[in-house]
Chain A
Amino acid sequence: MSDSDHQASRTRVPMPIATLNDPHMGDAAKNPGRIEVLVALIFVVAIIALAGFGAAYWQNWSPWIIGGTMGAGLFLLGFGLTAWGKYLMPQGPFVEERHVLASSADERDSLAAALVERSAVVVKRRRVLGGLFALGSGIFGIVALFPLLRSLGPVPGNSFEVTDWRKGSLLVDSNGRPVHKDTMVPGGILTVYPKGQEANPSGQATDQTVLIRVQRTDFTTRPGRESWAPEGYVAYSKVCTHLGCPVGLYEQQLELLVCPCHQSMFNVRNGAQPQFGPAPRPLPQLPLAINSGGYLVAQGGYDQAVGPGFWERTTR
């Protein structure tokens, strides 16, 4: 049926009339006066609430009063309007016929025919031409995308691999103070950076290191690292090897560094080997030394990339 047919049938429906006992009217409409008064009352309270909202905003009362009055006012407005719609307006059930979505077979055929036949003109190699056009557009798309992507930022290079720690880098805390070997007692932890990087966010992100004093005498975390932990001070990269969160949670009796994000646990005694949780690799250890003034310095940089894994990472 077309639209005009529909409309004709609509206008031809006789004007229906009903009694109040008609089940379509619903309970509420049988006594609409009461509902009307109720809805009116709801609107009045809403107006009062919204006036309150205006006053609250004008007088700069606390957010909960501003929000509470606004919320109450809006809610009552909505509630009243919905109640009006639900109880006082015709509910039906009314029916509407669906148009058949699909067009007729003839219409479909004519569309398909136009598409196929109109393009099958004299040229025999339209596939080749079409293909070349598509190739050209595609190449344009890809080539045009490159400047957009490439200019967004630099190539990674070795930026993921290197930190600012060098041989002789002085360990400083977040206020830039160097760390003397008498600073901490066993069980202490301090976040340190190479001197100069403590206020630089990029430096903080890659260079951040936890310094822990485990005991008062030298100890070895792993074979080959005998000199790395002088007087019981041991330093590990603070960047978790799982997803890069700072591993700031130290449990001194368990001698465990725990990453707060996903609870990877690293054993401080044996080179921050992961004991639990999703971290795949130990935290890289920074080799420490104590300089002539008694201050802690690095013997060199980290022996591997810090932080999470990525495709180009080669060191184990």
Chain B
Amino acid sequence: MTGVSSHTRRHGGLRFVLPGSLLAAAALGTLTLFFPGAGADGQTVSARVSHTSVPPKACGTVNLKGVSATPDSGNPFTSKNLTCRDGQIVSYGDSAITYTNPPSAYVAAGRQLFAQTCSSCHGNEANGVAPDGRASIGPNMQGVGAATVFFWVSTGRMPAADIKAVEAERRPTRLTTKDALELAAYVNSLDPAVPAVPTPNLSGADLSVGSDLFSLDCAACHTITGAGDALAFNTNAPSIQNRTVTAQQVAAAMRIGPANMPRFSGNLSDAQVRDVVAYVTEQIQHPANPGGAGLGGVGPVAEGFVALLIGVGGLALICFWIGERS
């Protein structure tokens, strides 16, 4: 055994050098997040994006196209709560939003469900290639991330009702939330990507920040009351007053930018996204409307009709009663 122990003694330190230096690099890299760096105009900024952090090996390779590298923006590798297992990201995020990938046990069921429901449009391998080698009707789903699949399926937009429609509409879904997660698990397994399925933590939300950001970023398409409206060329912004819209779906939509909706990645932090979600699910979907009937939240168009038809019309009918008719 002396050979073994001498071997151990000779290479004992080296065994720790590589992981040790990696750890040191990771630590240093993390530390750079907190050092003020040369930002703009020579003034300091509180955090600097780290480009040197290396994804831990336990998380496998992850397609990062869908997120920005800034902290708190839904990037798993800037999150303090990143957990990985078996070469897969399990969850990450912060106190505002937790992003979770569906359990890997769902992949098998998801594969079967995909083959039944989705492959006819998206190709057998979800890569947008039909069996005959030409482009399939649906786009390439590889590398879109679990949140994307979850959003499109759980809102009923997929499976598509009308493949010729410019934009798939929300509709009551035949597939359950579990089905959506299974499909997400399977598609994600083909090319693991982010964002994962977000679950916002609405306690501690700041409604004021939410309403401010909503009016700046969301109202231009969804209207200030969230009623939704028609956009250019047969596209539309759906109503988010609809109470079947869940907090997860709102958060997912903001992070992935489905269809024509812009993608809010680093331009909004997790806390800001959470605040907007809280505003939508509380105020937009349950407006207090102390003034009476909301008239659809469409504004002066509906109000004008009511004033003219019911107000002036009703009073004209009363004139009709009071006065003569010939």
13 contacts between A and B (CB under 8 A): A63-B291, A182-B49, A183-B73, A187-B257, A188-B257, A188-B263, A189-B267, A251-B235, A251-B260, A254-B233, A258-B232, A265-B232, A293-B39
| A256 touches B (CB below 8 Å) | yes
- Report the interface size for chain A: residues with CB under 8 A from the other chain: 43
Residues on B facing A (Cβ under 8 Å): 37-41, 45, 49, 51, 65-70, 73, 216-217, 219-221, 231-233, 235, 257, 259-267, 290-292, 322
Once bound together, how far apart are the Cα atoms of A184 and B221, in whole Å? 20
Chain B residue numbers with a CB within 8 Å of A168 are 41
Residues on A facing B (Cβ under 8 Å): 62-64, 82, 86, 168, 170, 173-174, 178-180, 182-191, 195, 246, 248-254, 256, 258, 260, 263, 265, 276, 291-295, 297
Chain B residue numbers with a CB within 8 Å of A295 are 39-40
A63-B291, A252-B261, A291-B40 known; A180+B232 contact, CB < 8 A: no
Once bound together, how far apart are the Cα atoms of A118 and B235, in whole Å? 78
Once bound together, how far apart are the Cα atoms of A86 and B160, in whole Å? 64
A183-B267, A249-B220, A260-B220 known; A178+B39 contact, CB < 8 A: yes
| Contact A294 B49, beta carbon cutoff 8 Å | yes
Once bound together, how far apart are the Cα atoms of A246 and B231, in whole Å? 16
Chain A residue numbers with a CB within 8 Å of B264 are 188
In the complex formed, the residue of B with least CB distance to A173 is B267
B40, B49, B70, B262: the one within 8 Å of A170 (CB) = B40
A184-B267, A188-B257, A254-B260 known; A292+B232 contact, CB < 8 A: no
A180-B70, A189-B262 known; A263+B291 contact, CB < 8 A: no
Once bound together, how far apart are the Cα atoms of A215 and B181, in whole Å? 29
Once bound together, how far apart are the Cα atoms of A91 and B51, in whole Å? 91
Chain B residue numbers with a CB within 8 Å of A187 are 257, 262-263
Once bound together, how far apart are the Cα atoms of A185 and B254, in whole Å? 12
Chain A residue numbers with a CB within 8 Å of B291 are 63
A64-B292, A182-B69 known; A293+B262 contact, CB < 8 A: no
Chain A residue numbers with a CB within 8 Å of B233 are 254, 256
| Contact A180 B263, beta carbon cutoff 8 Å | no
A185-B68, A249-B231, A276-B232 known; A293+B40 contact, CB < 8 A: yes
Taking the closest CB of chain B, its distance from the CB of A183, in whole angstroms, is 4
Chain A residue numbers with a CB within 8 Å of B67 are 185
Taking the closest CB of chain B, its distance from the CB of A271, in whole angstroms, is 18
Taking the closest CB of chain A, its distance from the CB of B125, in whole angstroms, is 24
| Contact A183 B262, beta carbon cutoff 8 Å | no
In the complex formed, the residue of B with least CB distance to A256 is B232
A64, A184, A251: the one within 8 Å of B231 (CB) = A251
| Contact A293 B257, beta carbon cutoff 8 Å | no
Chain A residue numbers with a CB within 8 Å of B292 are 63-64
Taking the closest CB of chain A, its distance from the CB of B240, in whole angstroms, is 15
| Contact B231 A185, beta carbon cutoff 8 Å | no
Chain B residue numbers with a CB within 8 Å of A253 are 259-260
Chain A residue numbers with a CB within 8 Å of B267 are 173, 179, 183-184, 188-190
Taking the closest CB of chain A, its distance from the CB of B257, in whole angstroms, is 5
A170, A185, A249, A276: the one within 8 Å of B265 (CB) = A185
Once bound together, how far apart are the Cα atoms of A185 and B68, in whole Å? 6
Once bound together, how far apart are the Cα atoms of A260 and B231, in whole Å? 9
Apart from A246-B220, A248-B216: 6 A-B pairs, beta carbons within 8 A: A170-B41, A180-B266, A182-B266, A183-B68, A249-B231, A251-B231
A170-B40, A183-B68 known; A188+B49 contact, CB < 8 A: no
Chain A residue numbers with a CB within 8 Å of B219 are 248
| Contact A185 B235, beta carbon cutoff 8 Å | no
Taking the closest CB of chain A, its distance from the CB of B17, in whole angstroms, is 32
Chain A residue numbers with a CB within 8 Å of B68 are 182-185, 188
Chain B residue numbers with a CB within 8 Å of A294 are 49
Residue of A168, A258, A265, A292 with most partner-chain B CB within 10 A: A258
A63-B290, A260-B220, A294-B49 known; A185+B232 contact, CB < 8 A: no
A63, A64, A188, A291: the one within 8 Å of B262 (CB) = A188
In the complex formed, the residue of B with least CB distance to A265 is B232
| Contact B260 A178, beta carbon cutoff 8 Å | no
- Report the 3 A-B pairs with minimum CB-CB distance, sorted nearest first: A248-B220, A183-B266, A251-B260
| Contact A185 B220, beta carbon cutoff 8 Å | no
| Contact B265 A293, beta carbon cutoff 8 Å | no
Taking the closest CB of chain B, its distance from the CB of A65, in whole angstroms, is 11
Chain B residue numbers with a CB within 8 Å of A174 are 216
